[in-house]
A and B are shown apart, each in its own frame.
Chain A
């Protein structure tokens, strides 16, 4: 990896240079490149901006205020005292590597937006813009992942335990049919059913934060603190209008730049004090709210209506083609509007009265659930067989994704899709479509609206169902590995810093 570092100390004659030497040496020993700017008594030998732009991460080993901090904005940063860099340079470097792998852009590195020192050079031409976009994205994703893991595993646990609590595969359906509020009002600590409801509700609440956290921390990475409020509000609005994580990506970027722009307004001195607390959050939240609720909300609703009507009109046609289409929709936005149309279409079908055991509605449900399991399972598989293509935090998330995928919790794949949308979505759509089509061809049926492998006893021709899931998973994993490998190859040629970081972790 490539790092840039700044060292400084109170007198500027000893530790500044010792830290610089220690970091350069330890970097060389580990095969990394560390370029140090010593801000000492000789003055500052400023690092060329192109070197900073090309760096993967930043190390501040400075006891004094870093001069020209905004030059390093938007990169993963560790901020340690100068003494630590002298005493334990290896640990400092390890922390910096970890920071790059997690991709988190800390507030320390984010732009000094409140300083009023004029616009920092935020958007640079060429590759560095691309790498910043990815780092903004990764910031949001890395904060979101723990919510996915916590919420998803709680929900999966609830499904598992509810088999016991209700005595059979129906449990996973019963647990969602219960009214949580009334259970909690009469909570019985000895009732396993009640505990299942608590687990499920807690998991669902955690999931409620997915899109707001994603959106909020993308905005935070772009605009520092002023971005947080509009980012979170925008994410919640995206959830409200059913725009899913793709909507959250839109609000994250929009909120970040809106907040950044407002925070750079030249305002009278009297107003400056209330800018960060009142003006910026107020105006930016309003702007994002209008964008999501008014501008984007209606087209999304119209799109969902249109798709729903269209799906209904297809019901008479080829059932395999319908399976492929539904599968593709399930894999497209993982809980977003398109996915929801497909899922709602299937669940509404279940409610039809007097269905035969092999009714098309049951097959549609089976196809939809199988397809919805593919993306998280495939990401889990891909992170297992080709670790080098994923960041450390993605690999960790991959482990949870096995359980989430098996439980038909498509959200398990959202962190991957948000971090690298088009590659993950393309591969997810291809594999999920294959699974949807195969389930229809095998004629599997399902009478439950969710539950994953935990409702296997409720699936007719379950072998075919499982085979379809496995095939789709293999296809999606293979495609995503192929696309990511191609990215890394071309990126090395183009000296794209971001992709190179991913390679080094291989």
Chain B
């Protein structure tokens, strides 16, 4: 299994979604298809449960759904760009960029450390801007991979 956090097939560009649940389902399915998550529905349910505690909308029109889940095999990141926006109850409106973080329920520290590093990157407008500006899935994956390297 690759130690990379993200690959191009985990990036969905120009998604249109009715609500955040739809985006979460879509990205969870991508993670399952890539063999990083055993059960897309179970993982999506864990993410929804986390959203129910507090919504994860962030400044900069970003949605940040995430969960620790037994369904996760490898720490992973899936990304969607949503030009028309999807509501994550963020402080400045609907999210046009969604990061879904998948963390294993139990894992070696170094796996979780890469997620901590990613989380720190997410507060940097330079990083989120670069992801947003990326032309295609390949570029998104390489921007993220570089950032947490």
Q: How far does the alpha carbon of A371 sit from the alpha carbon of B1 in the complex, in Å?
A: 84
The answer to whether A14 touches B123 (Cβ under 8 A) is: no
Interface membership of A13, Cβ < 8 A: yes
Interface membership of A129, Cβ < 8 A: no
Q: How far does the alpha carbon of A256 sit from the alpha carbon of B122 in the complex, in Å?
A: 45
Using known A-B contacts A11-B103, A41-B103, A42-B113, determine if residue A17 contacts B119 with beta carbons closer than 8 Å.
Answer: yes
Report chain A residues within 8 Å CB of B59: 86-87
The answer to whether B123 touches A86 (Cβ under 8 A) is: yes
Report chain A residues within 8 Å CB of B91: 87
Q: How far does the alpha carbon of A115 sit from the alpha carbon of B67 in the complex, in Å?
A: 33
- From A20-28, A70-78, A164-172, the one touching the partner chain is A20-28
Q: B119's contact among A10, A18, A25, A43, by CB below 8 Å, is which?
A: A18
Q: B56's contact among A14, A21, A42, A63, by CB below 8 Å, is which?
A: A14
The answer to whether B120 touches A20 (Cβ under 8 A) is: yes
Report chain A residues within 8 Å CB of B48: none
Q: How far does the alpha carbon of A17 sit from the alpha carbon of B109 in the complex, in Å?
A: 15
Closest to A15 in B: B119
- Chain B 25-83 interface residues, beta-carbon cutoff 8 Å to A: 50, 53-54, 56, 58-59, 64, 66-68
Interface membership of B116, Cβ < 8 A: yes
Closest to B106 in A: A41
The answer to whether A13 touches B123 (Cβ under 8 A) is: no
The answer to whether B56 touches A41 (Cβ under 8 A) is: no
Interface membership of B115, Cβ < 8 A: yes
Report chain A residues within 8 Å CB of B143: none
Closest to B90 in A: A87
The answer to whether B115 touches A13 (Cβ under 8 A) is: yes
The answer to whether A11 touches B66 (Cβ under 8 A) is: yes
Report chain A residues within 8 Å CB of B67: 11
Contact with B along A126-153 (1 / 0, CB 8 A): 0000000000000000000000000000
Q: How far does the alpha carbon of A21 sit from the alpha carbon of B125 in the complex, in Å?
A: 12
Closest to A21 in B: B120
Report chain A residues within 8 Å CB of B101: 13-14
Q: B120's contact among A11, A18, A63, by CB below 8 Å, is which?
A: A18
Report chain B residues within 8 Å CB of A297: none
Interface membership of B134, Cβ < 8 A: no
The answer to whether A16 touches B68 (Cβ under 8 A) is: no
Q: How far does the alpha carbon of A10 sit from the alpha carbon of B112 in the complex, in Å?
A: 15
Interface membership of A40, Cβ < 8 A: yes
Closest to B105 in A: A41
Q: B112's contact among A42, A83, A86, A87, by CB below 8 Å, is which?
A: A42
The answer to whether A10 touches B53 (Cβ under 8 A) is: yes
Report chain A residues within 8 Å CB of B112: 13, 41-42
The answer to whether B53 touches A42 (Cβ under 8 A) is: no
Q: How far does the alpha carbon of A17 sit from the alpha carbon of B148 in the complex, in Å?
A: 13
Give the distance to chain A from B62, nearest Cβ to Cβ, in Å: 10
Report chain B residues within 8 Å CB of A22: 123
Give the distance to chain B from A84, nearest Cβ to Cβ, in Å: 10
Q: How far does the alpha carbon of A83 sit from the alpha carbon of B53 in the complex, in Å?
A: 12
Q: How far does the alpha carbon of A40 sit from the alpha carbon of B56 in the complex, in Å?
A: 17
The answer to whether A42 touches B109 (Cβ under 8 A) is: yes
Interface membership of A435, Cβ < 8 A: no
Q: B122's contact among A12, A14, A42, A83, by CB below 8 Å, is which?
A: A14
Give the distance to chain B from A88, nearest Cβ to Cβ, in Å: 8
Interface membership of A38, Cβ < 8 A: yes
The answer to whether A13 touches B109 (Cβ under 8 A) is: no
Report chain A residues within 8 Å CB of B64: 14
Q: How far does the alpha carbon of A279 sit from the alpha carbon of B91 in the complex, in Å?
A: 49
Closest to A81 in B: B54
Contact with A along B97-132 (1 / 0, CB 8 A): 000010100000100110111011111100000000
Using known A-B contacts A11-B50, A13-B112, determine if residue A18 contacts B123 with beta carbons closer than 8 Å.
Answer: yes
Give the distance to chain B from A501, nearest Cβ to Cβ, in Å: 27
Q: How far does the alpha carbon of A144 sit from the alpha carbon of B58 in the complex, in Å?
A: 41
The answer to whether A83 touches B54 (Cβ under 8 A) is: yes
Q: How far does the alpha carbon of A21 sit from the alpha carbon of B117 in the complex, in Å?
A: 10
- In the A-B complex, list the 7 residue pairs whose CB atoms are closest, starting with the nearest: A17-B119, A21-B120, A17-B116, A22-B123, A13-B103, A21-B123, A14-B119
Instruction: Show 20 residue pairs from A and B whose CB-CB distance is below 8 angstroms, ordered by the A residue.
Output: A11-B67, A11-B103, A12-B68, A13-B66, A13-B103, A14-B56, A14-B101, A14-B119, A16-B116, A17-B115, A17-B120, A21-B119, A21-B123, A21-B124, A25-B124, A41-B115, A42-B112, A43-B109, A86-B123, A87-B91
Other CB < 8 Å A-B pairs besides A14-B122, A41-B112, 14 of them?
A10-B53, A13-B68, A13-B112, A14-B101, A14-B119, A16-B116, A18-B122, A21-B123, A22-B123, A41-B116, A42-B116, A63-B54, A86-B59, A87-B59
**Which B residues lie at the A interface, using CB under 8 A?**
50, 53-54, 56, 58-59, 64, 66-68, 91, 101, 103, 109, 112-113, 115-117, 119-124
